[in-house]
């Protein structure tokens, strides 16, 4: 009965692997969610909004004024962006922001350029919009793109270029030069740039998160919609409080559509997230330092278990190559791994559309490191069993 365009999307790899992990009792490093709660002040604030302040009815249309203001303040504080709170639309997570944006901007037959492996909701949202995905491969081991391949993905049907940096699932962080190249092509083809910056505060070593809206490419900021959410930054992935901002005529598209996807939700959570966005620099610095340590812990564990590890420069995921251990198919390995050693991971190739990208990522598996240190240590220990 399901409409044809949704038939490839009946389940998600996260649902499948989380179920497998639960059935086998494996440590779940597949689906990315932290195993500790976010800042205590955020949790207490949300609880008080529910039980003491009565913030339990529909929030105002485009979102709580305090959150829209806080998003604008955050964009100025971290990136020097000048955002009018009136141009911020609060959404049910970044997922809804992406879906509402694509549904609101794409006519059937329009094309959406995105970098593969792509986060799984992209292909489904593009399909829902009746548009066509034009994937550009990020090549292992560094997950950069080829300039000619990028240029070839654009056409006179390109409506949107969807850019996720820091990038899930590869852990890549796009450089200024890469983002500038993407921006120039978007301008040349009169395409809208939609950025997914949900991992904006999760970069390591010398990697820097650069919002495309800040680049000095003439005409770029005027055609850019910026999306982020609270889930990763504040370790509340189940809250689904996200936002999108951009020039008024562009942000009008997701604003119109999201009213009829969910109307508006998360009333008690929105003002709490507003306060959290204003947390001090120490919160953001500590979160990044903690994740750097976790990345190093799991990467070292994977290496000593015999994997080749592809360095993560951002997000909370690390991609590993199991070929030194004798495995050359990541899908096969991800399904066996819980049984083999009590750890779950997700295959990378399932996030790819083109045959070339599927082939390039075939052996790879992704591990999440947003877990307590002792859990990562236990997972590393279990993974050493793979050599056996």
Residues 6+ apart with CB under 8 A from 107: 130, 131, 159
Give 310's strand partners.
Answer: 319
Q: Which of the stretches 92-100, 278-286, 303-311, 341-349 binds ligand PMP when contact is defined by CB under 6 A?
A: 92-100
229 binds, among ligand GLN, ligand PMP, none (CB under 5 to 8 A by kind): ligand PMP
Q: How far is the CB of 342 from ligand PMP (least distance, A)?
A: 24
Stretch 129-188 residues interacting with ligand GLN (CB under 6 A):
168
The answer to whether 166 and 202 are in contact (CB under 8 A) is: yes
| Rounded-to-integer distance, Cα 381 and Cα 388, Å | 13
Q: How far is the CB of 14 from ligand GLN (least distance, A)?
A: 3
Q: Is residue 164 a contact residue for ligand PMP (CB under 6 A)?
A: yes
- How many residues of this chain bind ligand PMP (CB under 6 A)? 13
Nearest to ligand PMP of 235, 299 (CB atom): 235
The answer to whether 103 and 151 are in contact (CB under 8 A) is: no
Q: Is residue 229 a contact residue for ligand PMP (CB under 6 A)?
A: yes
Write out the two tokens for 383: 């993974």
31 binds, among ligand PMP, ligand GLN, none (CB under 5 to 8 A by kind): ligand GLN
Q: Is residue 71 a contact residue for ligand PMP (CB under 6 A)?
A: no
Q: Which of 17, 27, 29, 32 is the binder for ligand GLN (CB under 6 A)? A: 32
Q: Which of the stretches 68-76, 141-149, 237-245, 332-340 binds ligand PMP when contact is defined by CB under 6 A?
A: 237-245
Do the bridges between strand 346-347 and strand 343-344 make them parallel or antiparallel, or are there none, so unpaired? unpaired
Q: How far is the CB of 189 from ligand PMP (least distance, A)?
A: 23
Q: Which of 17, 20, 29, 31 is the binder for ligand GLN (CB under 6 A)? A: 31
Q: Give the Cα-Cα-Cα angle 291, 296, 300 (nearest 5 degrees).
A: 150
In what side-by-side order are the strands of the sheet with 317-321?
Answer: 308-310, 317-321, 365-368, 346-347
Helix (H, G, I), strand (E, B) or coil at 262: coil
For the chain, the farthest-separated pair of C-alpha atoms sits apart, in whole angstroms, at 60
Residues 6+ apart with CB under 8 A from 117: 138, 169, 170, 348, 349, 351, 352, 357, 361
Nearest to ligand PMP of 119, 367 (CB atom): 119
Q: How far is the CB of 335 from ligand GLN (least distance, A)?
A: 17
Render 117-160 in DSSP notation, one character per residue. S--HHHHHHHHHTT-EEEEEEPBTTTTB--HHHHHHH--TTEEE
94 binds, among ligand PMP, ligand GLN, none (CB under 5 to 8 A by kind): ligand PMP
Stretch 188-227 residues interacting with ligand PMP (CB under 6 A):
196, 198
The answer to whether 8 and 346 are in contact (CB under 8 A) is: no
Give the footprint of ligand GLN on this chain (CB under 6 A). Answer: 12, 14, 31-32, 168
| Chain contacts with ligand PMP (rule: CB under 6 A) | 93-95, 119, 164, 168, 196, 198, 229, 231, 237, 240, 242
């Amino acid at each position: 009965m399901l409409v044809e365009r949704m038939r490839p999307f009946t389940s998600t790899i996260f649902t499948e692997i989380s179920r497998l992990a639960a059935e086998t009792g494996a440590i779940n490093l597949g689906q990315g969610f932290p195993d500790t709660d976010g800042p205590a002040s955020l949790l207490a604030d949300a609880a008080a909004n529910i039980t003491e302040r009565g913030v339990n009815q529909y929030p105002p249309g485009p979102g709580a004024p305090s959150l829209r203001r806080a998003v604008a303040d955050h964009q100025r504080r971290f990136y020097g962006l000048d955002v009018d709170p009136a141009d911020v639309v609060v959404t049910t997570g970044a997922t809804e922001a992406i879906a509402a944006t694509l549904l609101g901007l794409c006519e059937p037959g329009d094309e959406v350029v995105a970098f593969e492996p792509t986060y799984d909701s992209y292909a489904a949202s593009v399909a829902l919009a009746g548009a066509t995905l034009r994937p550009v491969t990020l090549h292992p081991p560094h997950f950069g793109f080829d300039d000619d391949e990028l240029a070839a993905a654009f056409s006179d049907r390109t409506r949107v270029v969807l850019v996720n940096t820091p990038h899930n699932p590869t852990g890549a962080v796009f450089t200024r030069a890469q983002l500038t190249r993407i921006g120039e092509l978007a301008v040349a083809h009169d395409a809208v740039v939609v950025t997914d910056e949900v991992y904006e505060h999760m970069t390591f070593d010398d990697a820097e998160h650069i919002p495309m809206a800040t680049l000095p490419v003439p005409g770029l900021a005027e055609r850019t919609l910026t999306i982020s959410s609270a889930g990763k930054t504040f370790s509340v992935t189940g809250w689904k409080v996200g936002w999108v901002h951009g020039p008024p005529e562009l942000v009008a598209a997701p604003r119109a559509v999201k009213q009829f996807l969910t109307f508006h939700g998360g009333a008690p959570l929105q003002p709490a997230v507003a306060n959290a966005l204003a947390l001090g620099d120490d919160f953001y610095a500590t979160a990044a330092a903690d994740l750097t340590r976790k990345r190093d812990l799991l990467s070292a564990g994977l290496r000593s278990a015999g994997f080749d590890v592809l360095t993560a420069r951002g997000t909370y995921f690390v991609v590993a190559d199991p070929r030194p251990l004798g495995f050359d198919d990541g899908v096969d390995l991800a399904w066996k791994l819980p049984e083999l050693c009590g750890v779950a991971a997700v295959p990378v190739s399932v996030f790819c559309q083109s045959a070339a990208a599927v082939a390039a990522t075939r052996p790879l598996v992704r591990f999440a490191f947003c877990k307590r240190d002792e859990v990562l240590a236990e997972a590393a220990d279990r993974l050493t069993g793979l050599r056996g």
